Amino acid sequence: MPARDLRADLVAAATRLLEREGSVAAVSLRGVAREAGVSAPAVYGHFADLDELLRAVLDEGFEQLRAAVLAAVERESDPVRRLLAGCRAYVLAGLAAPVRYRAMFGPRKPDSADLAFGVLVRGIEACVVAGRSRSPDPREEATLVWTALHGVVTLRSAAPAPGWPDLDGQLSALVERLALLTPPPG
């Protein structure tokens, strides 16, 4: 039987607790220990305090978000389809863990948030290079797209309703307009 990775188990337990309880304020070291099936002092062998554990939860959230986006874009060769696939993966990842997603963009936002944003900037830059975006400043357009994607995740997770438009259609319209995408040549 492989050795237990208690640090990873504690991060996973804290993530489950965060999603189930609905807020960062509801997460405690004692609760995480209980969720992981260990004693409270065992947590201190891996994390100095609750803030350090929560930073690890948020860092992992950004890493999973980034990995989902990269996996989605790697399946596409066309830069516009890559951009759209990445945006879709971003929204789906946020909707899959909405409480952690909200916490990722709260006051504890880790430095890894910038890495996720960089993927979006490079996606729009690739569209510009391919002549598929009129963007004079891919970083500015990426900020607009990210704002819209964040709004989609936030609104859809706060008010899941059958009246929402088709997700793929909504994302295509948002990204095409905000990234200043152009139709393929000829």
Indicate if 162 and 121 belong to the same structural domain: yes
pLDDT value at position 3? Answer: 64
Indicate if 111 and 21 belong to the same structural domain: no
Please give the distance of CA 8 from its chain centroid, rounded to a whole number: 19
CATH of the domain at 36: 1.10.10
Are 124 and 142 contacting, i.e. CB atoms less than 8 angstroms apart?
A: yes
Indicate if 85 and 170 belong to the same structural domain: yes
Indicate if 42 and 75 belong to the same structural domain: no
CA distance 179 to 181: 5
Residue 55 in any domain: the answer is no
Question: Where do we find the tokens 């492989």?
Answer: 2
Indicate if 148 and 70 belong to the same structural domain: yes
pLDDT value at position 107? Answer: 75
Count structural domains, the chain. 2
pLDDT value at position 123? Answer: 95
- Closest among 56, 61, 69 to 99, alpha carbons compared: 61
Indicate if 138 and 161 belong to the same structural domain: yes
Q: Supply the range of the domain harboring residue 35.
A: 1-47
Residue spans of the chain under pLDDT 50 = none
| Tokens read off for 72 | 């989605």
- Closest among 128, 127, 133 to 79, alpha carbons compared: 127
Q: Which amino acid is at 140?
A: E
